[in-house]
Amino acid sequence: MKIKYIFRLISPSYCEHNHVKVKIVKGLAHALSYLHHDCSPPVVHRDVSPNNILLESELEPRLSDFGTARMLSTDS
């Protein structure tokens, strides 16, 4: 699996088509939704930035660097 940093790939020449941007944003939204709603306990990433988003060869986004992430208690 070849992975690249998003900030190196997202440029006007590389990402000129909206469907590419939409695919990346939808993938990130799905990942964050999974962390917040489907994990037990829920996880808050706390550092989503271009430096922490990796793209696979098919432009599937992956969150990285969970060093500042926090798990929420079930009553929060």
Active-site amino acid positions: 47
What are the beta bridge partners of residue 15? none
Task: Give the span between the Cα atoms of 41 and 51, in whole angstroms.
Answer: 25
Structure tokens at 70: 């926090």
What distance in Å separates the CA atoms of residue 16 and residue 23, rounded to the nearest whole number? 13
